[in-house]
Amino acid sequence: MAEMNVTPQSRRKAVRATSAGLGIAAALAGFIGLARWFEGVWVGDPYPVADPAATSRTLDERSQAVYDALALPDARLDTERSGVRAYTATYTCDRRGLRTWSDVLDPAPPSEPGVVSVSYDWTLRDVPRARAVTALKDARKELTRQGWRVTEHRDDRYRLELSMRPPKAGSSIAVTAYPGDRLEVSAYGECARYPAGTAMDSDGDPELADMRAPVQLRG
């Protein structure tokens, strides 16, 4: 078998070709990585995906837990002024990333399509301020024992309010006293993208589950 004669010049050419190939591959990989990074910066962090109906059921359950912790058996559900309602909102879910740089100049910037925030609230009546102060303290103590976290608790001449977050992320609850011996419980879900195929109501908004809380006051 004849021995292949590789000259130093041929060897140098092969080394240069291999080095050039590796350099091109590295440059291409770097370009792809940079493109992906820029796309992430341009679009921004993606919103989590959540079913609005499931979110509304969760808010219902958590607001029920708040009612139980308030320990106000003599309070009544205020069906005249606010009652019980649940709704979705898109205006609170801003677009993200550098692509929104011009939104700061828009008095009504567009929201992120397909992303909603689910909210749910109801109001109790016949809760004098002194009783509300005690109820909020009781709720704070009980819910903290259950693992909830207090984000704000105000008790001054301007406002009486308790805001808390349950152990699992994704929602918050606020209990606020208003004139007329009324106490409002509001539950908020974080902005989330609803899955494809989500059922819509007649207004074109995602359908929500039937609200039940507080079950003790609903016939």
Model confidence over 146-169: pLDDT tens digits? 999 999 999 998 899 999 999 988
Number of domains in the chain: 2
Determine contact, residues 49/183, Cβ cutoff 8 Å: no
Same domain, 17 and 104: no
Same domain, 123 and 144: yes
Q: Which range of residues forms the domain containing residue 106?
A: 52-217
Q: Which has the closest alpha carbon to 198: 38, 54, 41? A: 54
% of the chain beyond a pLDDT of 70? 68
Token digits for 190? Answer: 């974080």
Q: Which has the closest alpha carbon to 85: 184, 203, 197? A: 184
pTM, to two decimals: 0.74
Question: What pLDDT is attached to residue 212?
Answer: 85
Same domain, 39 and 59: no
Q: Average pLDDT of 205-212?
A: 88
Q: Are strands 160-165 and 149-155 parallel, antiparallel or unpaired?
A: antiparallel
Q: Average pLDDT of 92-117?
A: 67
Same domain, 4 and 67: no
Same domain, 120 and 204: yes
Same domain, 90 and 159: yes
Question: What pLDDT is attached to residue 98?
Answer: 53
Question: What pLDDT is attached to residue 145?
Answer: 97
